[in-house]
Amino acid sequence: MTHKERMLMAARGELPDLLPYVPRFDLWYNANSWGNTLPQRHRGRTADDIARAEGWALHKIIPELLKVRTPEDNVHRGLGLYSLKENGYRIRFSPNVDVSVSRAGDSIKVEYHTPVGTISVSEVITDEMRKAGASITWVQERAIKSVRDYRILSYIYESIEIVSDYERYASWQSEVGVDGVACMMGTFCASPMQHIQRDLLEATEFFYEYKDHQTEMRRLAESIEHVYDQILEVVAASPAEVVLWGANYDDMITYAPYFKSEILPWLGKACSTLEEKGKLVICHCDGENLGLMDLIRDSGMHVAEAVCPYPMTKVRIEEYYQQWGDKLTIFGGIPQSLLLEETASEEEFQAYIDHFFKAVAPGSRIIVGIADTTPPNAVFDRLVRLGERVAKEGRLPLEAGGFRPVLATQITKGSVIATRTLPDETFQVIQHDVFQGDNISIIAHVKEMLGKGTSAQEILHKGMISAMEVIGGKFKSGEVFIPEVLLSARAMNKALLVLEPYLAGDKSEMSGKILIGTVRGDLHDIGKNMVSTMLRGVGFEIRDIGINVTSDAFVEEVAEFKPDVVGLSALLTTTMREMKNVIDALKKAGLRDKVKVIVGGAPVNEKFATDIGADGYGADAGEAIALVKRLLEGTN
Ligand code: B1M
């Protein structure tokens, strides 16, 4: 049986001879070929050569965004559209849209001039990013910067024609041959609204806009639908067997009610249209799926790719298999942290694989893969041994052995906290504004209370902070979702501007300067933004220095801003160790004893924080606030 046959059988829910093994290792390959550190036997080989030499299937699900045949193929990344070999289509603009591209050093700026206005976007890829294995550029300047941009973007999307380009796709498909499945890329987003969220707006900004400019946003989504309908038609008529439709679902970013109303209808439509044409649909489900388990299972997708279980996320592999295994194929299952010496010992790695074989017995609807990809500093030999074990022990059906599934109750979200009552009626109006995230009314209400002689301190503490604490608690217990928290924090920020002059005399109320940033090599900022927004919301003075911040830059900013606390965020296993470099640099500059350092981000934990000499770790934004308060009060 060929790799391709095996993968397609698993994707259809049939039982192939052996578990398909399809490791993704683009990041590892890019970084190590850039640094000339590929294993001796693989020097000079392409990634595909390596996979073939090792006997693995080729991972051809996520398109190669940087390996393009012409510069036009990926130039419209800022609009979230591509004309790649994997697409099977090209984008064409009407003559009314004049596209100008300027390249300077590592950056590309693209401008779309239309009769109704101009949209500009820019992206960057530096040598440092390449060294770290980056497979995509970073969009620096997003398309939507003001409310007038919605109309211009509508004009642009309505002017787009999707033209089939099956020939180029077919030639790539034949290059892949029977060594893998050449997945056609429909879209990275499952729906037009997810397209606006993921590709056109900065992540935090999206949630504000979603509340403030719903009408404009919906109108733009309709214009994007014009493009999505064409893509669906072209992809449905293509020679592809498998289509990628949607990526990066995550129960915080695409939280359940949002997923249900804004993603599911389109995802369902795409899946049924493509299924009618005999195609299978894959979604890149690399996020935290706990809150989306039922929705994903019933969405109509055939394969959930990049499924990343515990210990990197909250859902265990056996729970995935129990809940999804009869309906959709799980592609992934090996969290990348298992390939790293620093996060998994050899025994832990072997124990996980033992467990994996038992947890996915009898082995139908499983494609073994690394979620989401192999990190640059992975122990390559573990990929090899995993392949050997799959070849040896992955004959289907697998025997369940002594494995006993965990109870479903063990994975329900944390128990819902009792809503704290906020007894002081005088402040209920303000509290209500914070709960509602009403950044307009809160200003009037705060002014009214000040006018009646209520003290700014009381308004801040009894009105705003007490309400924000309730929101924080509800977020932690899963009762409210990210947008509510961000909107409440924004209302707090606005009200604070009104209170500030009254609080200024009392330094104790505004004390606490926090410098925060995502460390070098890491471009994730959604969590960091949330933490800074919430800290600002409860009255701290925040300087957010963004993403990819070097230790030197942290030192310079500390010397200049003189914060009480420095907050470091990292989402990658490979960048979390950069946190120690920041601490060391602060020591070297003689600044370490002048500040407290706190760390956070998905791969970080308490032990790591202690090991690197940080003063504390916050698992989420609420904990970060509590931690900062404790540190500043000297009670930590
Ligand atoms: Co990336 N990504 N990503 N990604 N991405 C993860 C993190 C990953 C876990 C996915 C996976 O493998 N399943 C994986 C990292 C694996 C690892 O090393 N441990 C990963 C990878 C591999 C990558 C790339 C390498 C992919 C590639 O190129 N092939 C690439 C790296 C780019 C780079 O940084 N150099 C990449 C790129 C991207 C996108 C650009 C597509 C996008 C980022 C968009 C953005 O940030 N503007 C993205 C996304 C969205 C994710 C997932 C799906 C979601 C992350 C997120 O925003 N969560 C993520 C999957 C996952 O986390 N399971 C994944 C919501 C957010 C609110 O939570 O950030 O955890 P979080 O923040 C929380 C807490 O952690 C905490 O509070 C927040 C609120 O509760 N917290 C702090 C955070 N910072 C804190 C600081 C504190 C205290 C608390 O004190 C200072």
For residue 490, the one-letter residue type is R
Q: Which mutation among 514, 524, 566, 577 tests ligand 1's pocket best, with the greatest number of atoms within 8 A of CB?
A: 524
Cβ–Cβ under 8 Å, residues 442 and 494 = yes
Structure tokens at 197: 């969220």
The helix or strand, by DSSP H or E, that contains position 329, with its residue range, turns out to be strand 329-335
Task: Report which ligand 1 atom has the smallest distance to the Cα of 136.
Answer: 28
Can you tell me the distance from the alpha carbon of 342 to that of 591, in angstroms, rounded to the nearest whole number?
28
The length of the chain, given as a count of residues: 636
CA 571 / ligand 1 centre spacing (Å): 5
8 Å CB contact between 532 and 504: no
Ligand 1-lining residues (CB < 6 angstroms): 27, 132, 134-136, 203, 248, 250, 252-253, 286-288, 308, 312-313, 336-337, 371-373, 375, 516, 521-528, 530-531, 567-569, 571-574, 598-603, 618, 620-621, 624
CA of 188 to the centre of ligand 1 (A): 17
Interatomic CA distance for residues 495 and 463, integer angstroms: 11
> Ligand 1 centre from 480 Cα, in Å?
20
Residues linked to residue 303 through DSSP beta bridges, in sequence order: 282, 329
Percent of the chain's residues with pLDDT above 70: 94
In this structure, are residues 227 and 81 in contact, taking their beta carbons and an 8 Å threshold? yes
Please write the tens of the pLDDT for every residue from 596-607. 999 999 889 898
Band (pLDDT 50/70/90 cuts) for residue 486 is confident
Q: What is the spatial distance between Cα 238 and Cα 165, in angstroms, rounded to a whole number? A: 9
pLDDT in tens, 215-259: 999 999 999 999 999 999 999 999 999 999 999 999 989 999 999
Cα separation, 64 vs 22, in Å, equals: 16
Distance CA 224, CA 475 (A): 32
pLDDT cut 90: percent of the chain above it: 75
Query: Is 421's pLDDT higher than 80?
Result: no
pLDDT score recorded for residue 389 = 95
- How many Å apart are CA 165 and CA 446, to the nearest integer? 59
In this structure, the strands spanning 160-164 and 89-93 are antiparallel
Q: What is the pLDDT of residues 311-321, one digit of tens each?
A: 999 999 999 99
183 CA distance to ligand 1 centroid (A)? 25
pTM: 0.87
* Residue range 68-92: mean pLDDT, rounded: 96
What residues contact residue 214 under an 8 Å CB cut-off, 6+ apart? none
Mean local confidence (pLDDT), 17-26? 97
DSSP class per residue in 16-72: -SB--B----HHHHHHHHHTT-S-GGGTT--HHHHHHHHTPPB--SS--SSS-SSGG
List the end-to-end C-alpha distance of the chain, in Å, as a whole number: 60
